Structure 1
Amino acid sequence: MTEQATDTRSDDSDELAATVEAGGFWRLVPGWVPRDFIEPTPALLEQVDCGLRRLVA
Structure 2
Amino acid sequence: MTGSPQAPDPNRDVDELHALIKAGGFWRLAPEWVPHTGYAQSDRQSLSHVEDGLRRLLNP
| TM-score normalised over the length of structure 2 | 0.39
Higher relative contact order (Cα pairs below 8 Å, separated by 6+ residues):
2
| TM-score normalised over the length of structure 1 | 0.40
Greater Rg over alpha carbons, structure:
1
